Amino acid sequence: MIVRDLAEAERTERRVDSKGWSSVRLLLKDDGMGFSFHITTIEAAAELPMHYKHHFESVYCISGEGEIEDLATGERHQIRPGVMYALNNNDRHILRARSELKLACVFNPPVTGREVHGPDGAYPADPAADLARSA
């Protein structure tokens, strides 16, 4: 069994800060669960274009208000506590925070540690995960 405390994890390398967001990665690839699990904070007024080309992500809103725009269709969905979105098509999107957002996020394949977005809005592919898929 794995038990971790968010407040403790926040004081370790599990906390990753980037422009407009920070994330505490409570579960990572090396935990062997097949997914990673993060508690992410998006700053109020942040506008984040993202495109997880190599990962599926599912996001549950714990607190705060914002919206997600699907860049393929232009559709905008309101984000508020209780709402979940899943990027099941590696969807290109923009996340806008009207107030600070607290989100619980799951990535498959799991992120390995310190990933932040590249200029294309993606996290790098895990070469080991690619090998496993093609085997």
Query: What does the angle CA 73 – CA 76 – CA 77 come to, to the nearest 5 degrees?
Result: 125
Binding residue for ligand 9YT, selected from 26, 50, 97, 106, defined by CB under 6 A: 50
Neighbours of 81 (CB within 10 A): 12
With CA atoms as reference, report the closest residue to 29 among 103, 115, 120.
Answer: 115
Q: How far is the CB of 57 from ligand 9YT (least distance, A)?
A: 6
Which residue minimizes CB distance to ligand 9YT?
23
Binding residue for ligand 9YT, selected from 37, 103, 106, 110, defined by CB under 6 A: 103
Q: How far is the CB of 27 from ligand 9YT (least distance, A)?
A: 11
Counting contacts by CB under 6 A, is residue 27 touching ligand 9YT?
Answer: no
Q: Return the residues of window 105-124 that contact ligand 9YT according to CB under 6 A.
A: 105
Number of residues that bind ligand 9YT (CB under 6 A): 10
Q: Measured between alpha carbons, how far is residue 118 from residues 51, 96, 122, 126 in Å?
A: 10, 19, 6, 14
Of 120 and 134, nearer to ligand 9YT (C-beta) is 120
